Amino acid sequence: MAKIRCVGVLTSGGDAPGMNAAIRSVTRSAIFNGLKVKGIYRGYEGLMNGEVKTFTTEDVSNIIQTGGTILRTARSKDFQTPEGRKRAYDTLKKEGIDALIVIGGNGSLTGAMKLAEEYDFPCIGLPGTIDNDLYGTDNTIGYDTTLNTIMDCIDKIRDTANSHERIFFIEVMGRDAGFLAQNSAIACGAEAAIIPEDSTGSDQLIEFMSRGIRKSKKSCIVVVSESPKCGAMYYAERVKKEYPQFDVRVSILGHLQRGGIPSARDRILASRVGVGAITALIQGQRNVMVGIRNNEVVYVPLIEAVAKNKPIDLQLIKVLDELSI
């Protein structure tokens, strides 16, 4: 197995608070262990176009506390083609990079896996997404911060919802996963959450309305996981038609959910998995995602991390149901 002397690091897909802490961790741990580090800008786009810079420890000073990603990010269509990946591989060779560390979500780690398979190139994934939808790690980088951001927003909306005695449908991100919706609903004492994992053919709105909204309640918050067809707007329109006695409003939180100062949990998670990535490479591990399960650093084959389904704990649905009476 070829010795690793130089690692490249990039962020890809949707940015997530804590990505900078991960870049810092990878860079400093690599240098600590005698390796060279190169930062790759704008994700796979920058990798294909040769946007590469040698990093020193100073390049990652004072970033642990900042949101976004200093390396910038992109969702690259070209990298999804064999020609695109060939260009990316050519840059890696030209720059003398022996291993690539990719910080991103499902699509980004799938890209890393393909590059690894096609060119027998060592790739390590770090779970960076607010959606928390990667298998094999309890949490992903950015999820905790976003959950707290959503909680702050919903607490504020509750003030106005109470004052006007309204039903609010609040749409949160998560792509196809309901972790953000379900857990923010519990954290805010919401009356219901509508999540993709619970859509077993039943009509979640009718179920919720038929349970009845207690007369003494001044307001009602329903957290809805984003969905192209059945988002917060869809449910609000239906309530307006089917239950016209209620005063309904919608709030779509949007991209503010991805910004902000990373929480302590995200900074620590990012720092631990960053060190874990360098340790993995030194130990000869290849093509794994570094995660944390039950407070232990774990190495999950990339194929499992991206292809296996991460189920939501059904107990969380029961908790919300029981507490929202």
Residues that bind ligand F6P (CB under 6 A): 14, 75, 105, 129-131, 173-175, 226, 258
* Whole-angstrom distance, CA of residue 231 vs CA of residue 53: 42
* Whole-angstrom distance, CA of residue 110 vs CA of residue 298: 18
Measured from the CB atom, the residue of 6 and 252 that comes closer to ligand F6P is: 252
- Tokens standing for 294? 């039950």
Q: Which residue bears the tokens 């774990």? A: 298
CB of 173 vs ligand F6P, minimal distance in Å: 3
CB of 94 vs ligand F6P, minimal distance in Å: 29
Measured from the CB atom, the residue of 4 and 23 that comes closer to ligand F6P is: 23
- Tokens standing for 125? 């994934």
Q: What 3-state class would DSSP assign to 184?
A: helix
Q: Where are the alpha helices (DSSP H) in 165-284?
A: 179-188, 204-211, 232-242, 264-282
Measured from the CB atom, the residue of 124 and 180 that comes closer to ligand F6P is: 180
CB of 130 vs ligand F6P, minimal distance in Å: 5
**CB within 8 Å of 316: residues ≥ 6 apart:** 182, 183, 186
Measured from the CB atom, the residue of 50 and 196 that comes closer to ligand F6P is: 196
Give 128's DSSP letter: B
Catalytic residue among 15, 98, 131, 133: 131
CB of 177 vs ligand F6P, minimal distance in Å: 8
CB of 247 vs ligand F6P, minimal distance in Å: 29
Cβ burial of 214 (10 Å; 0-12, 13-18, 19+) is exposed
From the list 207, 128, 213, 220, the residue with the least C-alpha distance to 170 is: 220
Beta strands 36-40 and 52-54 are: antiparallel
CB of 298 vs ligand F6P, minimal distance in Å: 22
From the list 10, 59, 22, 55, the residue with the least C-alpha distance to 37 is: 55
Measured from the CB atom, the residue of 106 and 324 that comes closer to ligand F6P is: 106
- Tokens standing for 155? 């607490």
159 labelled catalytic: no
* Whole-angstrom distance, CA of residue 142 vs CA of residue 148: 10
* Whole-angstrom distance, CA of residue 26 vs CA of residue 201: 44
Measured from the CB atom, the residue of 7 and 102 that comes closer to ligand F6P is: 102
- Which residues carry out catalysis? 131
